[in-house]
Amino acid sequence: MDKLRYTTTNRFIYQGGGFWLPWLVFNAISCAAAAVAGAGTSYIAPLAAGSGIQHIKAYCNGIDIPGLLTFKTLMVKMVGAMFSIGCGLVAGKEGPFIHVEEATTTYSGSLMTQTFLVGAVVVFFMWLFSGAAALGGRAIARLMFQSPLELAFRGHSGTDVRFWWFIWEVPVMLLLGTAAGAAMAAWTALNMRLQAGRKALLRGPGWRVADVVLCCLLTNSIRLAAGYMSPCVPLPEAAVLRALEAQAVTGQLMRGPIGMHPQLWCPEGQFSMYGQLFMQPLDVSVRSLFTYDAAFNQTNLLNQASAYNGSSGGRTAAALAPAVVDEQSAFSSGVLAAYFVFVWGMLLLSYGMSAPTGIFIPCLAAGAAGGRLMGHLLRAVLRARGILLPICMPAWSVMGAAAILTGCTRLGLSNALIVLESSGAVPLTIPLVLLMVPAKLVADAINEGVYDAQIDALGYLFLPPADTLHSSQRAALQYCKVLDLVHLPREAMLPAAILKACKQKRE
């Protein structure tokens, strides 16, 4: 659906062309998809709205939520998530598909296991036969025993050399984590107020569908306006473009719906600076921010490092050239700042509406932009002092993504695994874990995470983890038995009332 929206709209965009016809085409497709996403949750399965993680968390805590795992909710969640993402909302699919996974295993865990096993076996033999065909069709048995390395399936080479960091960057990374925690704590507070306002005002299903469509219209109008008003800059040199095409990840981005350097309304030989991020789907923007500097490969990095003179801070013009090309053809500080504000604000508006929307990919997108912006500031400070060390911008994008995601969800190990696996930034494991600590501590000191806040707002009978309770509350719980709580009225079965009853039992 993303490809349909962008390729169709791009046919009506040309140098010197108008804004309103592409705007009409772009938003007609987007709003139609948004209406489908909103109608399913408004009229058919209200529990399919949002990410669903807050419901699943309460369900795993032993709370029965009627209709949460029904086939109707499952189908609306799956279809709605596709249309929510396809219509251009600032939303992700990870949270909704956690809900989908829980619903599917509820119906038949054994069937899902068998299906997964059969699929794995089929994919394995497809890889095996395709590998043998690529090697000239030689006998599989002889290949397996005589040349086993020829059938080894390796990841993309050069992934690790894309990321590096210096030990003196760690304090700045900790500062980034602190800022991210504060920013996402503020986001959580504002979003919960917005959700309460929606609940009070949008009482009918028609109003909730209109809310989804209007949010989609606003989001895509900002995207298109950013591309229309964007300054145009020259394309990178042909050698740089060939290097981008040759690499696995960036080559895929270059061959995307509008490419990695979209021309849009710009003259021939130039591209839209803001269109690089604003006119791309969220996942494409995240991959671009995580990988763009990979075009300037290990050789360029080694040339820059070897040309750096620690005593005088000087570098040769030849070594400085790759960094200058990167600054001209990659993402400027203004683009990064605008994109961070856009994603942060539109996620604030989108999350909690009556459509299946997740927050993982939007948090990665906002964090990747904010982290790279911090890297730009650090590089500017160093250059002002005459130090021309190469700063790894993809590394700062990954660090920013981890910090924002942690500040929002308050998860630790899970977020580390998600970010490391999605970026391939294994060399950043140590600073990434260190950065997540202040992000979580600062956010927790301000308020609770968005999922816990939603559970409280929904009134689910959810007791928080024991390690989050005050010592006096934990002591009170020790004097309670299940039978002591069974006789409490349902309206008193909230965490505060339970703790109060246990305290009275103790006394």
HEC profile of 174-213: HHHHHHHHHHHHHHHHHHHHHHHHHHHHCCCHHHHHHHHH
49: left (phi over 0), alpha (psi -120 to 50) or beta: beta
pLDDT at 149 over 70: no
Say if CB 409 and CB 449 are below 8 A apart. yes
Asked which of 100-114, 157-171, 381-395 is least confident by mean pLDDT, the reply is: 100-114
Element (H, E) at 451: helix 450-458
pLDDT average, residue stretch 356-383: 92
In a domain, 415, yes or no: yes
In 10 A of CB 162, how many CB atoms?
27
Same domain, 419 and 311: yes
Do 54 and 165 have their domain in common?
Answer: no
DSSP 383-436: HHTT--PPP-HHHHHHHHHHHHHHHHH--SHHHHHHHHHHH--GGGHHHHHHHH
Which structure tokens are listed for 269?
Answer: 């030989």
Q: Which of 330, 329, 404, 391 is nearest to 365 (CA)?
A: 404
Query: String of b and e for 380-398 (b: at least 16 CB within 10 Å)?
Result: eeeeeeeebbbbbbbbbbb
- Give a yes or no: residue 34 inside a domain: yes
pLDDT at 45 over 80: yes
Residue 366's closest CA among 333, 327, 337, 409?
337
- The chain-wide mean pLDDT, for the chain, equals 77
Judgement on whether residues 28 and 87 belong to the same structural domain of the protein: yes
Whether residues 337 and 450 fall in one domain? yes
Structural domain of 476: 463-506
pLDDT at residue 81 in the model: 86
Residues 196 and 316 in one domain: yes
pLDDT class of 310 with cuts at 50, 70, 90: very low
**Cα distance between residue 431 and residue 429, in whole Å:** 6
pLDDT band of 233, cuts 50, 70, 90: confident
CB contact at 8 A, 96 and 77? yes
| pLDDT band at residue 423 under the 50/70/90 scheme | confident
0.85 exceeded by pTM: no
238 inside domain: no
**Domain presence at residue 137:** yes
Are both 308 and 423 inside the same structural domain?
yes
Alpha-carbon gap, residue 395 to 296, rounded angstroms: 14
Instruction: Say if 266 falls within a structural domain.
Output: no
Contact 38, 355 (CB under 8 A): yes
The CA-based dihedral angle spanning residues 326, 330, 332, 336, taken in that order and rounded to the nearest 10 degrees: -140
Residue in 403, 413, 471 with CA at minimum distance from that of residue 440: 403
What does the CA dihedral 104, 110, 115, 121 come to, rounded to 10 degrees?
140
Kindly state whether residues 450 and 472 are assigned to the same domain: no
3-state secondary structure of 293: helix
> At residue 294, does pLDDT exceed 80?
no
Q: Is residue 274, in this structure, part of any structural domain at all?
A: no
147, 167: one domain? no
> Per-residue confidence at 324, pLDDT binned at 50, 70, 90?
very low
Asked whether residue 374 falls in the same domain as residue 390, the answer is yes
Instruction: Return the amino acid letter for 200.
Output: A
Name beta bridge partners: 232. 272
Query: Does 426 lie in the same domain as 483?
Result: no
Say if residue 499's pLDDT is above 60.
no
pLDDT exceeds 90 at position 247: no
- Helix (H, G, I), strand (E, B), or coil: what is residue 328? helix
pLDDT beyond 80 at 134: no
Please check whether residues 396 and 303 belong to one and the same domain: yes
In 10 A of CB 134, how many CB atoms?
A: 10
Q: Are residues 425 and 334 in the same domain?
A: yes
Residue 272 lies in a domain: no
Q: Nearest 5°: CA angle at 106, between 97 and 455? A: 60
Decide if pLDDT at 120 tops 50.
yes
State the CATH number of the domain containing residue 330: 1.10.3080.10
Enter the tokens of residue 472: 């006096």
Report the Cα 10 to chain-centroid distance in Å. Answer: 25
What does the alpha-carbon distance between residue 402 and residue 173 come to, in Å, rounded to a whole number?
Answer: 11
Domain limit, last residue, from 82, 109, 136: 109
Residue 291 lies in a domain: yes
User: Which of 466 and 313 is assigned the larger pLDDT?
Assistant: 466
Structural domains of the chain, count: 4
pLDDT recorded at residue 440:
92
Measured distance CA(433)–CA(115) in Å, rounded: 36
